[in-house]
Amino acid sequence: MTTKELKKKGKAAEAGALLAAAASGADLRYVGGRPVSFVHCSVASAASLRRALRRRLPIVAIVDKDTSDETAWSLRGSWSAAPEADPLSTVDVERLNRPLIALLLEGADAGALAPAGEGPDIVIAVRGDGDGGDVDLAVADVAGAEAAIAEALVVLQSVTHGRGTVVPPAPGSLTDVVPFELDGAYDMTDVVARLVDGGRTVPIARPHAAGVSTALASIGGIPVGIMASRPERDQGRLDSAEIRRIERFVRLTGALRLPLVSLVDTAGERWSDSADLLGALRDALLAVQSPATPKCVVITGRAYGLGAALMGAVAARADYVVAWARADLAGRAYTEDDELGPLATSPFAAVEAAVIHEVLEPDATRQALIDVLGSLTTVGADEGSDGH
Amino acid sequence: MSSPAPVAETTSGGRPQSWAEAAQVLAARREFALGMGGEANIEKQREKGRLTPRERVELLFDPGSFQEQGALALGTLIVPGRPDRAAPADGIVVGWGDVVGRRVCVIADDGTIAAGARGHAANRKAAAISAFARNSRLPLVWFAESSVNRMQHVMGAQFAGDLERELGALPPLRFMSSGLRAPTVIAISGQSVGRPSFAAMVSEFVTLNRGSSAMALAGPSIVRAAIGGPVTSDELGGAEMHGKGTGLVDYVGDSEADSIDGIRRFLDYLPPYTGAAPRRLPSDDPGDRLCPELYDIVPLAYRRAYDMRKVARAVVDNGELLEIKGDFARNLVTALARIDGWTVGIVANNPLHAAGIVDPPAIQKLVRFVQLCNLYNIPIVILQDQPGVMVGPGVERQQIVKNVVWLSQTMRSVTTPVLTVLVRKCYGFSYLLLGARMNGGDTVVAWPSASISLAGPEAGVATVLAAEERAGTLTDERRAEVLAAFFEDSRARHAAYAGRLDDILEPEQTRAFLARQLALIGIRGAGIRYSPKPALRQ
């Protein structure tokens, strides 16, 4: 069936797409009204894999307990690493530049997959506990997986097909949900909802690193990756798992060519296991210092220490850094009677020195991001940005 | 608006305590930034015939599209014995907006504050917007007015520290090292010495305002101290020096508004960055329009002068040309224009000046323009009417041999399409240099009036019959006979018969022919880079 025929057929082909594809080895199906190539890695032949790649459609690769490591690895990265060993080496996958989602059925080994940036863009596990380290989203059943794929494709499709429709964010003023006082509690989810189109995101969730949230969304019709610290949890301090999550998400947005929007309200890092934390910091700093895509940073509250640097507050390279008037910038977490005296800098002092670009009213943030992203995303999808 | 207040009065003593208070502080600070150097300094700026940076930005961008970045930056003007004063926005306006519907970044030095000298925050702002433009492949316009660092920031050992790092981050000097890049425009808007002068040399377009701006390595006071004698900034680097003398400036505006209009037109012709093709705009001038006026413009008598710019205007859309380096090497015209909506670069000998001869200044002008067109995928249209390369001790001193080789190598490395129209005289080695097939010409056509030869018929007669002349046996009849034979042999149709030209074209068909060729190029994609042309493709 050609793509054209499939489009004519429309949503009628959607029902049971995932399971039907799993049985047939490779197939074209609709998910959420969008054509998708399904490939079952245990069943599909090399020829059908090649056909799927050449369709230039998003691919959902199904991996089960019978899928060999070699096949799983060949989903993306290993082709460029060892092209002579792979029957699909004639296909320039990076050039085709379309999303690749891996779906792990029950019993599949997440460790067989290459890491994000080299392997699949998103890894969804059915009935997995999400603790495998490389799983982005754990769902309860196949139906849940189909819904998650449809959600992800809403964003991922727009990566290769330009801007989507602009939808207003969640209603209400940000100043109503965020108190001006630095110690005032608020839920960062409310902030995100008032910045993104429709107030809606596709969470890239990892249950064991809940101190930071990561999601795909659109702002002004421009698809973006959003990461945000969660000040309601221990003042947004980051432990090693959360730092690894940041690293993986930065790499993921790079692989998807998505601009990154970072919302920062963190008191720094949580030194529970120093060696582990140092290792995570090292890896993550390398990732955030050389992002493959544009990065915009909004400092909504505390921006302390390496945690804030990781999220792009000041030290890491960013294309656009703004702060709200309630923000507080410091090299490390501090107390009022700190022996080193006042350590913090107000956002006004920071902008006076041109260390950040702007101090913004919270409700002006969305429009500012749209304006900046509109400029930054004029670069071709296959071109990264370079540093200062 | 009042003069900038001391720092203590403009910075917040404490932090705002509520969202409402924060909004008030922000509004007040933004208002302060809009005041620039205060009314007195703005008036001084106007007396010099110069605009303020915010007026320049307003003229550059489409109405309502400018978005400023870093307006809340604040510098300090420190003069011993006087109270410290604030420098709103630290003396520089940066941001982005739309020029003819396309996004462009801007740096505008503020001459109303410390004569445009910068502080540390200003340097950070300039570096940040430059990086933003570079990362986004957006064109960058820099209104340069002084642009040096404030003396108090560079005195002593600090010079080797912060400043070194800040300057190291500054494009466009680094900008040029990038393989993929967007155009940079340097608008010399005041007395610019040092940094902006260097930047101008590696930028795509440089403008200067007649009577109110100058570009030099060092200003009059330094020059007087170094070599003595009175000298003005206009004599050092004004319109006469760089518009006519050196050709280092691409466009000399009669006013700032004129220069800014030139910048808008320039950016409109170019694609946003080197990997893209120029956009085609709908034209109300039909592509197949005939140009019968060309018969009146171009005289058939080879020794009669005419203005090639009239030919170019007749051929392009609505007669609109943006001449580059118009006052420099006027024996050669380089201009951007559109034909049937397609952007083209026009290269044309101008017989109105020095018979259109090819000399070192013309070669320098030509090479820079061809490099620009090649870099931005702009097809080149060459209108050739020249008697050859200039000879004599004068041009030998100007390294004419080296210049000819430089031109030849440039033309051979061109990857953008080259369409050559031979109008009248096409003599000497320069015939080959200016868009012949061996030097990059993709399509070479000639008017019936074209004459092609290694040397002009008169020069050929003088050489061939030299022995007879020395012996005293040369008669007028003999000279006329050989001359007529040389004229006949040099007719373009003979080259066409031998397949060395693509066609003989009626002059009135020139526009329609070029429009068809450009449409073909448009179909295959001017933005697609081809491998360099082979050296010889006869």
Mean pLDDT of A276-304: 83
pLDDT digits (tens, 9 = 90+) for B505-525: 999 999 999 999 999 887 655
B49-269 has which fold? 2-enoyl-CoA Hydratase; Chain A, domain 1 (3.90.226)
Return contacts of B149-154, CB within 8 angstroms, 24+ apart.
B149/B117, B149/B118, B149/B119, B149/B123, B150/B75, B150/B77, B150/B114, B150/B117, B150/B118, B150/B119, B151/B117, B152/B78, B153/B118, B153/B119, B153/B120
Instruction: Please give the pLDDT value at position B419.
Output: 95
What are the boundaries of each domain within chain B?
49-269, 294-450+491-521, 455-490
Instruction: Please give the pLDDT value at position B333.
Output: 97
- Which structure tokens are listed for B335? 């201009």
Mean pLDDT of A103-109: 76
**What's the CA angle centered on A299, arms A297 and A304, to 5 degrees?**
110
Given a cut of 70, whether residue A111 has pLDDT beyond it is no
pTM, two decimals, is: 0.80
How far is B174 from chain A, CA to nearest CA, in Å? 10
- Report residue B303's pLDDT band, with 50, 70 and 90 as the boundaries: confident
How far is B184 from chain A, CA to nearest CA, in Å? 16
- Which structure tokens are listed for B14? 């404490």
Question: Which helix or strand (DSSP H or E) is residue B518 part of?
Answer: helix B510-524
Instruction: Please give the pLDDT value at position B162.
Output: 56
- Report residue A307's pLDDT band, with 50, 70 and 90 as the boundaries: confident
CA distance A295 to A276: 27
Contacts of B80 by beta carbon, 8 Å cutoff, 6+ apart: none
- Report residue A193's pLDDT band, with 50, 70 and 90 as the boundaries: very high
- The neighbouring-strand residues paired with A359 are A323
Mean pLDDT of A68-92: 41
- The neighbouring-strand residues paired with A202 are A216
Q: What is the 3-state secondary structure (H, E, C) of chain A?
A: CCHHHHHHHHHHHCCCHHHHHHHHCEEEEEECCEEEEEEECCCCCHHHHHHHHHCCCCEEEEECCCCCHHHHHCCCHHHHHCHHHCCCCCCCHHHHCCCEEEEECCCCCHHHCCCCCCCCCEEEEECCCCCCCCCCEEECCHHHHHHHHHHHHHHHHHHHCCCCCCCCCCCCCHHHHCCCCCCCCCCHHHHHHCCCHHHCCEECCCCCCCCEEEEEEEECCEEEEEEEECCCCHHHCECHHHHHHHHHHHHHHHHCCCCEEEEEEECCECCCCHHHHHHHHHHHHHHHHCCCCCEEEEEEEEEEHHHHHHCCCCCCCCCEEEEECCCEEECCCCCCCCCCCCCCECHHHHHHCCCCCEEECHHHHHHHHHHHHHHHCCCCCCCCCCCC
Instruction: Please give the pLDDT value at position A134.
Output: 63
Given a cut of 60, whether residue B166 has pLDDT beyond it is no
The share of chain B scoring above pLDDT 90, in percent, equals 56
Which of A13-22, A337-346, B184-193, B222-231 is modeled with the greatest confidence?
A: B184-193
Given a cut of 90, whether residue B304 has pLDDT beyond it is yes
- Report residue A32's pLDDT band, with 50, 70 and 90 as the boundaries: low
Best mutation target, B7, B65, B66, B72, to test chain A (most A CBs within 10 A): B72
Select the residue of A180, A325, A358 nearest B69 (Cβ to Cβ): A358
Per the CB < 8 Å rule, is B72 touching A359?
A: yes
Instruction: Please give the pLDDT value at position A209.
Output: 79
Given a cut of 60, whether residue A78 has pLDDT beyond it is no
Nearest residue in chain B measured CA to CA from A293: B135
Contacts of B429 by beta carbon, 8 Å cutoff, 6+ apart: B388, B389, B404, B454
Mean pLDDT of A154-161: 54
CA distance B59 to B66: 10
More confidently predicted of A288 and A67? A288
Is B294-450+491-521 in the same CATH topology as B49-269?
A: yes
Mean pLDDT of A353-372: 93
The share of chain B scoring above pLDDT 70, in percent, equals 89
How many other CB atoms are found less than 10 A from the CB of residue A87? 13
Given a cut of 80, whether residue A131 has pLDDT beyond it is no
CA distance B52 to B34: 11
- A354 interaction partners in chain B (CB closer than 8 Å): 70, 73, 90, 120-122, 124-125, 128
How far is A137 from chain B, CA to nearest CA, in Å? 32
Best mutation target, A369, A375, A377, to test chain B (most B CBs within 10 A): A375
Would strands A122-126 and A137-139 be described as parallel, antiparallel, or unpaired? parallel
Instruction: Please give the pLDDT value at position B457.
Output: 82
- Residues A225, A249: contact at Cβ < 8 Å? yes
Per the CB < 8 Å rule, is A325 touching B26?
A: yes
pLDDT digits (tens, 9 = 90+) for B440-487: 888 999 999 999 998 888 888 888 899 998 998 889 999 999 999 988
Which letter, b or e, does each residue of A209-236 get, where b requires 16 or more Cβ atoms within 10 Å of its Cβ? bebbbbbbbbbbbbbbbbbbbbbeeebb
Residue that is written with structure tokens 């022996």 in the block: A339
| Chain B residues with CB within 8 Å of chain A CB | 11-12, 15-19, 22-23, 25-26, 29, 67, 69-74, 90, 96, 103, 120-122, 124-125, 127-128, 131-132, 134-138, 169, 178, 180, 272, 275
Mean pLDDT across chain A, nearest whole number?
A: 73
CA distance B116 to A18: 65
In this predicted structure, which of A146-155, B106-115, B128-137, B296-305 has the lowest mean pLDDT? A146-155
Mean pLDDT across chain B, nearest whole number?
A: 87
CA distance B326 to B252: 8
Instruction: Please give the pLDDT value at position A44.
Output: 63
pLDDT digits (tens, 9 = 90+) for B382-423: 999 999 999 899 999 999 999 999 999 899 888 889 999 999
Nearest residue in chain B measured CA to CA from A358: B70
- B120 interaction partners in chain A (CB closer than 8 Å): 353-354
Select the residue of B96, B121, B134 nearest A375 (Cβ to Cβ): B96
pLDDT digits (tens, 9 = 90+) for A372-383: 988 876 544 333
How far is A65 from chain B, CA to nearest CA, in Å? 44
CA distance A242 to A259: 20
ipTM over 0.85: no
Given a cut of 70, whether residue B528 has pLDDT beyond it is no
Per the CB < 8 Å rule, is A348 touching B134?
A: no
Instruction: Please give the pLDDT value at position A2.
Output: 45
- How many CB contacts within 8 angstroms connect chain A with chain B? 100
pLDDT digits (tens, 9 = 90+) for B173-196: 444 444 578 899 999 999 888 778
C-alpha of A184 from chain center: 28
Per the CB < 8 Å rule, is B136 touching A294?
A: yes
CA distance B418 to B414: 8
Given a cut of 70, whether residue B328 has pLDDT beyond it is yes
Mean pLDDT of A145-158: 70
Per the CB < 8 Å rule, is B128 touching A354?
A: yes
Mean pLDDT of A212-238: 88
Nearest residue in chain B measured CA to CA from A388: B131
Amino acid identity for residue B118 in this structure: R
Mean pLDDT of B63-88: 87
- B139 interaction partners in chain A (CB closer than 8 Å): none
Instruction: Please give the pLDDT value at position A22.
Output: 56
Which letter, b or e, does each residue of B414-444 get, where b requires 16 or more Cβ atoms within 10 Å of its Cβ? bebbbbbbbbbbbbbbbbbbbbbbbbbbbbb
- Report residue A112's pLDDT band, with 50, 70 and 90 as the boundaries: low
Instruction: Please give the pLDDT value at position A3.
Output: 43
pLDDT digits (tens, 9 = 90+) for B475-500: 999 999 999 998 899 999 898 888 88
B294-450+491-521 has which fold? 2-enoyl-CoA Hydratase; Chain A, domain 1 (3.90.226)
Nearest residue in chain A measured CA to CA from B122: A354
- Which structure tokens are listed for B375? 């870099």
- B17 interaction partners in chain A (CB closer than 8 Å): 180
Amino acid identity for residue A245 in this structure: R
How far is A213 from chain B, CA to nearest CA, in Å? 26
More confidently predicted of A65 and A68? A65
Mean pLDDT of B211-215: 91
Select the residue of B16, B70, B138 nearest A357 (Cβ to Cβ): B70
- A378 interaction partners in chain B (CB closer than 8 Å): 103, 136-138, 272
